[in-house]
Amino acid sequence: MLALLLLSACFPRLDPDETTDAGDSGGAILVEARCGDGEDDDGDGDVDCADPDCRDARGCEEGDADTDTDSDTDTDTDTDTDTDTDTDTDTDVDEDCDNGRDDDGDGDADCDDADCAGDPACATCWDDDLDDALGAEIASGSATGNDGSGSCGGSSTADTMVRWVAPSSGSYTFDTVGSAVDTTLWVASEECDGDELACNDDWFGTYSQLTVSVSSGDVLVVGVEAAGSWVLNAWEGDCPDYMVGEVLDLYGSTSSFTTDYAATCQDVGNAIALRWIAPSSGTWTFSTAGSDFDTVIAVFDGACDGDELACNDDSGTEPGPSETSAYVAAGDDVVIVIGGYAGATGTYYLTID
């Protein structure tokens, strides 16, 4: 009797309702007969203690089964925690849009980062960013909006505003010579909300021109008011006095100019300096014929302190007009200086051929 009880404890009873004659089943075992052999004896998909047939078998007590289940659950929980940590590292760091650093490590800092779109620190009022461009026609277009106005212009005229950065400390001159219409020009500091530094309307005919002094890296907003197509030029320094573009005939007065320039043919006194751009390559002749005073003319390469290309005082036998020639490549600019012998002043006529 004792032997029978021990056998019953070690092996679960076969439920008569769940057994089938070997002839019907091909000899299959329909219960988990051995609860510790690591095999699915009855082919129901559950092995050993995971099979309900082994619920009462030794080694498959409820506590042991719970322990295994808890262990699996803990492992899953740890996995979830690791996943959350990785996600936080990638997405939870916000880009500070005004500190000069790439806070979220995506390769873009501040306003270059797409995360900063719409951030107040990245608000712009300009239509184009020119960086530190210098030279003829650094920008051009046809104004359509009306976002701002200089103190010397009219608020009802369409305008365009561009961002510009000073490449070094010093004076810089901006003008609208070459524009198809009357223009007004102004410059403001510290980007969109900065103070106006200068404003000009009709410095040279209907063209506008102004000069500002800045430090390296200063950001300016340059505004152009124009009821049509406009051109913006820029150069370093406050010389020459005017940018005249590609004009071939010009006249004016030297009576208000006091700068003297040294030249090989004769010093040029009380002179006006004009920046001119060659429309094509060739040898160009510069003449002051028709001026009402004894003139001296000199041509310098690219700037007021550039290399002298040509100079003349008294083209004829009598004191008076001057004429000289120099080769200039298409698109290159020269500075033409017109003054008077011994400081004479008056109305000049300049013809370029």
The whole-angstrom separation of Cα 346 and Cα 339 is: 9
User: Which tops the pLDDT comparison, 184 or 146?
Assistant: 184
Query: What is the identity of the amino acid at 310?
Result: A
List the structure tokens of 269. Answer: 């006194």
Q: Once rounded to an integer, what is the mean pLDDT over residues 147-167?
A: 83
The per-residue pLDDT for range 209-262, each reduced to its tens digit, is 999 999 999 999 999 999 899 999 998 888 888 888 888 999 999 998 999 999
* pTM (two decimals): 0.59
238: tokens are 């406050």
More confident residue, 19 or 285: 285
- Res. 172 pLDDT band, cuts 50 70 90: very high
Task: Of 121-135, 156-170, 268-282, give the range with the top mean pLDDT.
Answer: 268-282
pLDDT > 60? residue 19: no
Q: Cα separation of 84 and 255, whole Å?
A: 79
Q: Based on the number of CB atoms within 10 Å of its own CB, is 238 exposed (0-12), middle (13-18) or buried (19 or more)?
A: middle
pLDDT beyond 90 at 116: no
Q: What is the pLDDT of residues 51-110, one digit of tens each?
A: 888 877 777 765 444 444 444 444 444 444 444 444 444 456 778 887 878 888 888 888
Poorest-pLDDT segment among 52-56, 102-106, 178-182, 330-334: 52-56
* Residue 350 structure tokens: 């300049």
Residue 77 vs residue 187, higher pLDDT: 187
Give the residue-averaged pLDDT of 280-294. 96
